[in-house]
Copies of this chain bind each other. A is one copy, B any other.
Amino acid sequence: MSEKTAKSMSIIVTKGSLDWAYPPFILSTTAAAMGLDVTMFFTFYGLPLLKKKLDLSLTTLGNPAMEMPMAGMHMKMPNLFAALPGATAGATAMMKDMMKKKGVASIEELRDLAIEADVDLIACQMTMDLFEYNESEMIEGISLGGAATYIERATQCDINLFI
């Protein structure tokens, strides 16, 4: 409970798909670049984002709001088609290609940026135990913590988000 000088932000990161990995990393790296103290707490499906080797994908299934630009139009993908084998790989490749063309950094790059900017990365101990992850699978420079660690931190922050 030190005296606060800089503004601060905490993010609970609970989703680990290719698309939902972006908001927490874009917000945290931008905030850190603006001088905020940033904490990211990785839990549930967001925990694998701390793995050394990322294998992210995305599906349009269950997301009727996803509109992919295609030949100057915006296309939505029917659920039945999205459920077919290969559709997840196809949508993932399409999104990665689209991001590369537009010069959007990869999640790996944003994660490196976050580490360089001293963003505090905390892995949820309970999720580690529940889903049987080993610390050796995770990148270096992170710490382990629980809900209490997060709450203690969040009471000190100006912005708290659950993503």
Query: Are B30 and A44 in contact (CB-based, < 8 A)?
Result: no
Residue in A48, A61, A64, A161 whose Cβ sees the most chain B Cβ within 10 Å: A64
CB of A99 to closest CB in B, whole Å: 7
Q: How far is the CA of A132 from the CA of B132 in the complex (A)?
A: 41
Please give me the residue from chain B that is nearest to A158 by CB atom: B155
Question: Quick check: is A106 within 8 A (CB to CB) of the other chain?
Answer: no
Residue of B nearest to A45 (CB): B65
A63/B45 contact (C-beta < 8 A), A26-B147, A98-B130, A129-B102 known? yes
**Tally of this chain's copies:** 3
- Please classify how large the interface on chain A is, using the bins under 10, 10 to 19, 20 to 34, 35 or more: 35 or more
Contact of A59 among B59, B64, B88, B146 (CB under 8 A): B64
Taking a contact as CB atoms under 8 Å apart, the answer to whether B57 and A64 are in contact is: yes
**Residue A39 at the B interface, CB < 8 A?**
no
Q: Tell which of B58, B85, B104, B163 touches A78, judged by Cβ atoms closer than 8 Å.
A: B85
Give A59 to B33 CA distance when docked, in angstroms: 38
With both chains docked as a complex, state the minimum distance between the C-beta of A49 and any C-beta of chain B, in angstroms: 8
Which residue of B has the minimal Cβ distance to A85?
Answer: B80
Q: Are A151 and B36 in contact (CB under 8 A)?
A: yes
Pair A64/B58 contact, Cβ less than 8 Å: yes
Chain B residues whose C-beta falls within 8 Å of the C-beta of A26 in the assembled complex: 126, 147
Other than the given A9-B151, A69-B132, A79-B87, 17 more pairs (CB < 8 A) read A14-B23, A17-B63, A19-B44, A20-B65, A30-B148, A33-B148, A34-B151, A34-B152, A45-B65, A48-B65, A59-B79, A79-B88, A80-B83, A102-B130, A154-B158, A155-B159, A157-B159
